[in-house]
Amino acid sequence: MERNVRISMLCQIYGKMLTKKQYEMINNYYNNDLSLSEIAENNNITRQAVRDIIKKGENKLFELEEKLAFMEKTLKQEKQLQQILEELRKIENTSSDKKIEKILNHVCEELSCLA
């Protein structure tokens, strides 16, 4: 997974555990696509200060994920759900029993809500 996407996802999961300033700057940099210079100008600080705050925030996000692994678990669950849905669709497509087909369709709909 691309680093920028990973950091953006980690920020969604663990953002509340960062300082307000770290969260705002990481969010502006990764999600709002602002440059370091733009963020620095908006906050009346140097570009280097913005970079330092973002780096500290990133390190905190990676540390939290290493310890708690919420993103890893979520991605694994999503992959498992997709595999289950694929298997259920195979059964549904080969079944000639309308009752089984209806039940499988309902189960697929319910699982899709979780994915």
Prediction pTM value: 0.77
DSSP E strand boundaries for the chain: none
- pLDDT at 109 (0 to 100): 82
Is residue 107 within 8 Å of residue 88, measured between CB atoms? yes
Residue-wise pLDDT tens digits, 31-81: 999 999 999 999 999 999 999 999 999 999 999 999 999 999 999 998 998
pLDDT band at residue 115 using 50, 70 and 90 as cut-offs: low
Is residue 39 within 8 Å of residue 29, measured between CB atoms? yes
Long-range contacts for 45-50 (Cβ within 8 Å, ≥24 apart)? 50/25
